[in-house]
């Protein structure tokens, strides 16, 4: 099986790459210049890359936009052209790393851009797997680094005292879902979530406990205030963009049953994942 992996230098792509190589798959990971998501918007640009490829895995994604990178281009236009090229070249399967919330109720540009690409893939005459991960944590992840910094503080302020529901999934479970999807006989859309939905506050407390520290003191802060702070904070810590806070505020949970069926086991709990 010959696999083309895009986004192989990113957090998720790097872990997928390591797993595929360890399993002995023939893997091609084009450079940014060879597969330029910033400029590739037509199928003809992608065709040379997908020739004689059996499976394409797209793990390209950004959590915030900047002057050089937009959601529309990286999440919608380039992937749509890539998927069309796959159909034209006879690629057997495409595995798309999307995002939880990329559905008909999407309300941020991030979610909407992913949803648009997913729908274009669903319309093509090839086998596809659309994996929609929740908050992914693990070694090298930006979100875990941010929450670890928060967990190290003696006191933090969270909107609604951190009662937002989240369902973080360890990177190893997302990678395992990709590996299992390579053998899928039918097209599928699967939410990739951890075993349990917990509050944001409990997630941060679990990270703090994994560091061997006592429980953190959390105080409430109005959502309007933290969103205002985020308007400035996003320039220092991009992941603090107000849209990302709004997605957290809404909650980020789903039924873990389909993932459990795909993996043949339950996804890792937070405590187990933090020990990886």
Given pLDDT bands bounded at 50, 70 and 90, which one contains residue 54?
A: very high
Instruction: Assess whether 102 and 202 both reside in one domain.
Output: no
- Look up the CATH number of the domain holding residue 104: 3.40.50.720
Does residue 236 fall inside a structural domain?
yes
Instruction: Please report whether residue 157 resides in a domain.
Output: yes
| Whether pLDDT at 112 is above 90 | yes
Q: In terms of domains, do 31 and 89 share one?
A: yes
Q: Is the pLDDT of residue 127 over 80?
A: yes
Q: Which residues of 236-256 are buried (b: 16+ CB within 10 A; e: fewer)?
A: eeebbbbbbbebbbebbbbeb
Q: Is residue 46 part of a domain?
A: yes
Instruction: Please indicate, yes or no, if residue 11 is contained in any of the structural domains.
Output: yes
**What residue numbers bound the domain in which 242 lies?**
136-169+193-254+265-276
CATH of the domain at 230: 3.90.25
pLDDT band at 146 (very low <50, low <70, confident <90, very high): confident
Indicate whether 185 belongs to any domain: no
What is the pLDDT at residue 240?
Answer: 61
Alpha-carbon separation of residue 150 from 158, 206, 275 (angstroms): 10, 12, 19
Q: Are residues 101 and 141 in the same domain?
A: no
Q: Is residue 222's pLDDT more than 90? A: no
pLDDT value at residue 243: 67
Q: Is residue 175 part of a domain?
A: no
Over residues 241-256, the mean pLDDT reads 75
pLDDT at 30: 96
Pairwise CA distance, residues 20 & 178, whole Å: 10
The count of structural domains within the chain is 2
Q: Which of 224, 252, 269 is nearest to 101 (CA)?
A: 252
Q: What is the pLDDT confidence band of residue 226, given thresholds at 50, 70 and 90?
A: low
Same domain, 143 and 273: yes
Final residue of a structural domain among 133, 157, 181:
133
Do residues 3 and 20 make contact, with C-beta atoms less than 8 angstroms apart?
yes
End residue of a domain, out of 133, 160, 181: 133
Same domain flag for 65 and 141: no
End of a domain among 133, 160, 180?
Answer: 133
Per-residue pLDDT of 62-91, as tens digits, reads: 988 888 999 999 999 999 999 999 999 999
- Cβ-contact 195, 160 below 8 angstroms: no
Residue 220: pLDDT above 80? yes
Residue 234 shares a structural domain with residue 142: yes
Q: How far apart are CA 68 and CA 156, in angstroms?
A: 33
Residue 187 lies in a domain: no
Q: How many CA atoms lie within 13 A of 55 on its CB side?
A: 21
- Say whether both 118 and 90 belong to one domain: yes
Per the prediction, the chain carries an average pLDDT of 92
18 pLDDT band, cuts 50/70/90, is very high
Backbone dihedral region for residue 154 (phi beyond 0: left; psi -120 to 50: alpha; all else: beta): alpha
Q: Examine the domain organization and report whether 75 and 160 are in the same domain.
A: no
**What is the pLDDT confidence band of residue 161, given thresholds at 50, 70 and 90?**
confident
Measured CA to CA in angstroms, residue 58 lies from 10, 17, 78, 240 at distances of 11, 12, 11, 25
183 found inside a domain = no
**pTM value > 0.75:** yes
Contact 28, 21 (CB under 8 A): no
Phi, psi at residue 25, to the nearest 5°? -75, 150
Q: Does residue 141 share a domain with residue 129?
A: no
Q: What is the pLDDT of residues 169-189, one digit of tens each?
A: 999 999 999 999 999 999 999
Residue 63: per-residue pLDDT: 84
Report the share of the chain in percent with pLDDT over 70: 90
Is 80 exceeded by the pLDDT of residue 248? no
Q: Which of 276, 2, 56 is nearest to 178 (CA)?
A: 56
- Please tell me the predicted confidence (pLDDT) of residue 239: 55
Question: Are 125 and 50 in the same domain?
Answer: yes
Q: Are residues 101 and 207 in the same domain?
A: no
Specify whether 28 is located in the same domain as 145. no
What pLDDT band is residue 241 in, cutting at 50, 70 and 90? low
Cα distance between residue 86 and residue 65, in whole Å: 27
Evaluated on CA atoms 56, 7, 115, 254, the torsion sign reads positive
């Amino acid at each position: 099986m010959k696999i083309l992996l895009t986004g192989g230098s990113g957090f998720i792509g790097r872990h997928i790459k390591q797993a595929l190589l360890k399993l002995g798959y023939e893997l091609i990971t084009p450079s940014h210049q060879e597969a330029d998501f910033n400029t590739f918007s037509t199928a003809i640009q992608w065709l040379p890359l997908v020739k004689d490829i059996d499976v394409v895995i797209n793990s390209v994604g950004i959590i915030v936009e900047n002057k050089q990178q937009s959601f529309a281009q990286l999440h919608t236009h380039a992937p749509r052209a890539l998927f069309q090229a796959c159909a034209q070249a006879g690629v057997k399967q495409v595995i798309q790393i999307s995002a939880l919330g990329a559905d008909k109720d999407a309300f941020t540009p991030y979610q909407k851009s992913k949803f648009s690409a997913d729908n274009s893939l669903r319309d093509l005459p090839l086998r596809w797997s659309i994996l929609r991960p929740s908050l992914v944590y693990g070694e090298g992840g930006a979100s875990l680094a941010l929450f670890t910094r928060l967990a190290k503080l003696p006191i933090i302020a969270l909107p609604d005292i951190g009662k937002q529901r989240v369902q973080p999934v360890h990177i190893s479970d997302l990678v395992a879902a990709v590996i299992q999807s390579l053998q899928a006989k039918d097209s599928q859309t699967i939410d990739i979530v951890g075993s349990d939905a917990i509050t944001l506050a409990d997630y941060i407390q679990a990270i703090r406990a994994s560091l061997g520290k006592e429980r953190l003191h959390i105080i409430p802060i109005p959502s309007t205030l933290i969103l205002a702070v985020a308007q400035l904070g996003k320039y220092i810590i991009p992941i603090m963009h107000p849209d990302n806070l709004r997605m957290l505020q809404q909650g980020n949970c789903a039924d873990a049953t389909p993932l459990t069926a795909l993996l043949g086991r339950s996804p890792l709990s937070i405590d187990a994942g933090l020990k990886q």
